[in-house]
Every structure is written in structure tokens, then in C-alpha cells.
Structure 1
């Protein structure tokens, strides 16, 4: 006689495990969880979503969540601890980046599968309590005061920013935001925020005002012509090129990050063609978008 599945065997069921991990991840990084998060992600009804949250909070991670009447949702309790996730920011931000693709959610929530492994960049030091106000400010179009450090100015300094988008550049996460000190939109690394951010007033600048961000450009990539014809065909096949080219359409401020991912030096060719492999043929058109070293 087949055993009927129930919430008690949640660790054996991907659908339940995914839902409980989403519950824990959203609560930890956003600080507010509602049934809508589950309904939108998994296409389930409000009653089932409520049942999942209650089961998580009573059986899987007892008292991890507290209902907040002002927030009209659940927030992490003082004793919150991660039970079904690792508690690193990649789990949350990958969910944002792949919210339209459930298969990506499965991959980045780390459900083990036989004969498959992958590597990820070393994790940056990003703390939930530092990130929650950034996420809230970006969502609600608010200004937020951060304490920030950089290589050029290593001592932590207060900065007032208006964030609009979280970005993963292949190695690390940053937030695109208007900086009131420099009066321009810039990228701020999440790992370089050194204190809990404080949300202040409504932002005057938004994503719509970020002209560079709203400009799309094309990066035209081809095999290095120093390779012989057979080698060039290999590279073309690797990247599924059409007519010997790969055309990447992206937001202008992301050009440098794409070149870094493709291991294309912004300024010079590698002396060994087999190490270079790819070249950008419209570099002059992209010059203004390349970030300084």
C-alpha cells in the first residue's frame, strides 16, 4: 500500500522544500512575508500558502516568524535562525533575478541532484540587517542613509542614496542608486555597507531618471582573428554565434561587467590568441561606458 504524502515528509518533496525555503529566504532578507509571496511564486491558493507558512513556523522552524499587524505580514523573530537555507544573500538575490524561471529557483536553492556539481564565487560579507532597508527603499522609492567604505576612501562614511535596482555582475552584488554626494547614479557594493541603513524621505530620483541605465547598447563579439579558421569555428560553436558574431544587448552601465565575464580586457589584447579567444569589434562605441580600473 502506497504511503500518502503529507507535510511530515516535506524533506522528500521538492515542491514543499522549495516553498519552505522561499518562506525562510523572504522573511530573512525582506523582513516581511505574506501569502502573496508563495501564491505568486508557485501558483497556489491563499489557503495553501497560509497552511505552508503555519507548518513552517510550527514544525520546521518553531517560532521563527512573528505576525506583525502593522506590516500585515510575518517578520523574523528575535530568535530567528536558518533551518532550510544557508542564510547567504545569493539565495535571496538569485530568486529575484530568476523570479520568472522556477527551474532557476530550484538550482539556486541548492536541491541536490546526482551527478551534477557547480562552483560559485566566494561569498561576500553581506548582512541581512544591512540589506533589508536597501530593498525596502528601492521598492518604495525612498532615500536611505548608508555607511559605506571603498578602496579610495577606506574609512566608513555616511552617504545618502536613492536605490532602484539590485544587480549581480557575475561575481558580486551591488545596488544601482542615485548618490546625493556626487549628484549622479552609481553602483554601491552591498558588501561594503558597514552599518544598518536608515530610511528617510521619499526619493526625488528614480530609475526613470537614470539616463545611462535606461540606455541599451549592443556589444558585438567575434572570435579573435589571430586564431586559424578551424579554431574560430570552435569559438563560434561554443557561443552559438550567428554569422561569426555574438551580439549582446545590455544596459549601458553593465558593459564593463559583461566584458569581465567574457574575460575580455578593456584596454589590450592578450598576447596569446588561444587565451584571448574573443574580441569586441565595436569597442569605440562602448568606450564611454567602460568603468575605470
Structure 2
């Protein structure tokens, strides 16, 4: 809950105060040049922002006159909520606004290189079509059927951890499918609206929510460390996933989905407690160790 005085400020002002809060919390200090460089405000404006923050949360910030830098207070408590994904993105990639294309990590960080990234001239029209709820004519390269011309009705982007895909209705097959964005060429948004049967509320795999429970792998040592790594509650991690993405996510997380936890390897720290939770999930075969249960088929 933000202090009432912060709530009453305009969005731009709150953004600058949140940045002060962030820099103090994760970097331990902030100076006027940090604000002027990030937001383009005049030095006098930066001084006013720092003074206001100090008035709202005096325990959070102390002025170091020798270096003219504001440092984190001994009784610091953040006044903004800083989500872990945003924080880690900012620390590793920097605060970029997309104008000059330059951003630098705030701290030394290493993360896996992206081996597959979509072209912007392909991604942009796909995004416009999602926003406008319009079909798109594309040329698509499939491993199974080669090159083909298609019309799809996209409605969501999906990050599988290995590549970016778009979930869409495929007019060629009459089904909802995943299309790898790097395999799409010359997308052209059509000047027509999607039909009722092409909308996402008719995609059963997309609208179905699968509830799963992950537990420490029974054949791996130190289950208490696994519970700590994944912030278990009550000895397990309960998740809700879309059926359309479940197989991708379980593969990304290296979850042993075999009924008898038979997969070996240090990467399998987690086990799917009930593999029948994936029954009817089309991409379940992507999940490590998953096989269709004979009992479920009977």
C-alpha cells in the first residue's frame, strides 16, 4: 500500500520516486545525475524529487555530504513493491526506454544467451493483429509439412523458454495451434475481423486450466534444499497452468513427469506428483518422462 501522498502524485512523478526507492534498495545509493540521466529532468527537479522522497520516508534515505550522494537508511523499508522479474530485468538489462536503443546492466550479470529471437519486422505486425483482433496472411515453414501459405488469427504470444511462439487459429486446418515466430515470413494483416469460432474463448486447450502439484524428486538428495529453492508451501509447489502451455513449462523446468519418478539426472529436482493431471493436455508429451496412461485410455 503506497503512502497517501504518493498515491496523489501523477504517474511520471511516482515513476521517479519508485526509481529512487529502487536505487536505494538494490544499489544502496542514488545521486542527482541518476535521476537526470534516467528521466531527463533538470538538476533542480531531481533535487525536489529527492527532497520529497526524504520527506515521505525519512528513515529510508541519508545524505552523504562528502560525496553529495544519498545513501540507504539503516531502517530502510521500500515504499513501492518491486516485483522480482522487473528487478532482475532492470539489474541485468538496465532501464531502457526504447528511444536510443542503449541500456546497460546495473550490476555484472550473466544469463543464458537467446539462441532464437524473432525479427522485429515479423513480430510487429503479429502484435498489431493480436491487438486489433484481425487475421494475418503468412508464409510458414513447418518441419513436418515444409513451406505453406496460411491465414491465422493470432491472440497471444507464448515464451516457451527456448523460443517465442504465437497462439492462433489456423484457417488451413481449422484448429488452434502454436506457430514459431522465427518460421513466419511476410505477415500481412487482413482488413477483416476474426470469426466467432476463431476467438480464444473457443480454444479449449487455452481456456482449460490444469492444476498440478510439484514435489521434491524422491530419488534426489536434500529435499529440504529443493523446497527452499522453489519456495514450497506445505511440502509442495501448487501451480495452475494453461493446458496449451503446460508441456512447454514442465520441460523448461525439467520436471520428471513419469508416474514412477524413473528419470535420472541431477537436473530433475522436481517430480509431478500426479501425472494424470496432464490427461487431455495435447502437448503433454513434451513433458519429461510423460507417457499416456493405459488406464486413462481405456
| Structure with greater contact order relative to length (CA < 8 Å, sep ≥ 6) | 1
Superposed CA deviations along residues 59-111 of structure 1, whole A, max 9, x for unmatched, are xxxxxxxxxxxxxxxxxxxxxxxxxxxxxxxxxxxxxxxx9x86466354453
Equivalent position SS for 1:187: strand
Identify unmatched segments of 5+ residues in structure 1. 18-98
Q: Distance in 2 between matches of 1:271 and 1:280?
A: 12
Tell me by how many angstroms 1:165 deviates: 0.7
- The answer to whether the aligner puts 1:207 opposite 2:200 as a matched pair is yes
The equivalent position to 2:161 in structure 1, one of 143, 149, 170, is 170
Task: Report the TM-score, using the length of structure 1 for normalisation.
Answer: 0.60
Residues in 1 aligned to 2:117 and 2:253: alpha-carbon distance in whole angstroms: 25
Matches within 5 A, 1:184-199: 184-199=175-190
Q: Secondary structure at the match of 1:194?
A: strand
- Listed as ranges, the gaps of 5+ residues in structure 2 are 1-30, 42-82, 97-102, 287-298
Counterpart-to-counterpart distance in 2, 1:271 and 1:166: 31
Normalising by structure 2, report the TM-score: 0.59
1:12-51 correspondence runs (5 A): 13-16=37-40
Residue 134 of structure 2 corresponds to residue 134 of structure 1: no
SS in structure 2 opposite 1:177? strand
Measured after TM superposition, the shift of residue 197 of structure 1 is 2.9
Tell me, yes or no, if the aligned pair for 1:145 and 1:200 is still in contact at 8 Å: no
**Structure whose CA Rg is larger:** 2
Answering whether residue 180 of structure 2 is matched by residue 226 of structure 1, we say no
Structure-to-structure mapping, 1:193-272, within 5 angstroms? 193-204=184-195, 205-228=198-221, 231-267=222-258, 269=261, 271-272=263-264
> Which deviations, in whole Å up to 9, do the C-alpha atoms of 1:28-62 show, x marking residues without a partner?
xxxxxxxxxxxxxxxxxxxxxxxxxxxxxxxxxxx
Q: Give the paired residue count.
A: 203
Q: CA RMSD of the aligned region, Å? A: 3.2
